[in-house]
């Protein structure tokens, strides 16, 4: 099934949008951006030049995905989320002239498979959000988020572990955790959470 592009959306002719993807009203996908298959790009979303999204992603209304963000398959980006790309933002140079493209180097946010970023969260590049991690709504992420971590706050800190279903895991003691929804088991080793099936 071909992609659906709303008449009010702006998709650059050099952008790539995969089959089965919907791009809703007033969204803007810039040149050389790549959006995978079966994604849902909500109203008013901005995806910067050269940014990449994998398959089966959901980007909610008014999210700003600035280049050179790299988003893997199955990622959820909530309403009004912002991915920054300039660690030292200024409108002008030290010589007081307007900054142009040659006056700074964009750095990106990386989001691994299955992660979720809650509404109005800000991810301050350069950071990596790990596989199946979850960023709580309104958080400000200033450092890397481990796989399966649930982080919250300003700045965001890990408060729980979550499984692939996104539900906080139950602590069974001795570094063992279990998902109450799927029954999947996990083991924590040296501050890193592993699914038991990945350890076998």
What share of residues in the chain are helix, strand, coil (percent, to 5)?
5, 35, 60
Instruction: Please check the confidence at residue 200 and state whether its pLDDT lies above 70.
Output: no
Instruction: Please check the confidence at residue 198 and state whether its pLDDT lies above 90.
Output: no
Mean pLDDT of the chain: 97
Single pTM value for the model: 0.96
Q: Is 32 buried (19+), middle (13-18) or exposed (0-12) by CB count in 10 A?
A: middle
Q: Is residue 88 flagged as an active site residue?
A: no
**190: left (phi > 0), else alpha (psi -120 to 50), else beta?**
left
Question: What is the average per-residue pLDDT within 4-19?
Answer: 98
Instruction: Please check the confidence at residue 122 and state whether its pLDDT lies above 70.
Output: yes
pLDDT in tens, 36-63: 999 999 999 999 999 999 999 999 999 9
CB atoms within 10 A of CB 38: 17
Q: Which residue among 28, 62, 88, 194 is the active-site one?
A: 62
Give me the pLDDT at residue 197, please: 81
Instruction: Please check the confidence at residue 105 and state whether its pLDDT lies above 80.
Output: yes
CA distance 154 to 122: 10
């Amino acid at each position: 099934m071909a992609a659906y592009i709303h008449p009010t959306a702006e998709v650059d002719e050099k952008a790539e949008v995969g089959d089965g993807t919907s791009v809703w009203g007033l969204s803007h996908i810039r040149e050389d951006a790549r959006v995978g298959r079966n994604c849902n790009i909500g109203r008013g979303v901005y995806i910067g030049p050269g940014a990449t999204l994998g398959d089966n992603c959901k980007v909610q209304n008014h999210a700003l995905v600035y280049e050179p963000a790299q988003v893997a398959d199955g990622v959820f980006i909530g309403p009004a989320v912002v991915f920054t790309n300039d660690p030292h933002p200024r409108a002008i140079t030290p010589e007081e002239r307007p900054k142009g493209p040659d006056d700074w180097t964009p750095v990106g946010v990386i989001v691994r498979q299955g992660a979720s970023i809650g509404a109005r969260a800000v991810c301050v590049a350069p950071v990596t959000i790990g596989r199946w991690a979850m960023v709580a709504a309104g958080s400000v992420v200033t450092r890397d988020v481990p796989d399966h971590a649930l982080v919250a706050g300003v700045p965001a800190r890990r408060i729980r572990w979550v499984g692939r279903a996104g539900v906080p895991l139950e602590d069974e003691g001795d570094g063992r955790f279990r998902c109450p929804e799927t029954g999947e088991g996990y083991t924590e080793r040296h501050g890193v959470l592993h699914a038991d099936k990945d350890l076998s």
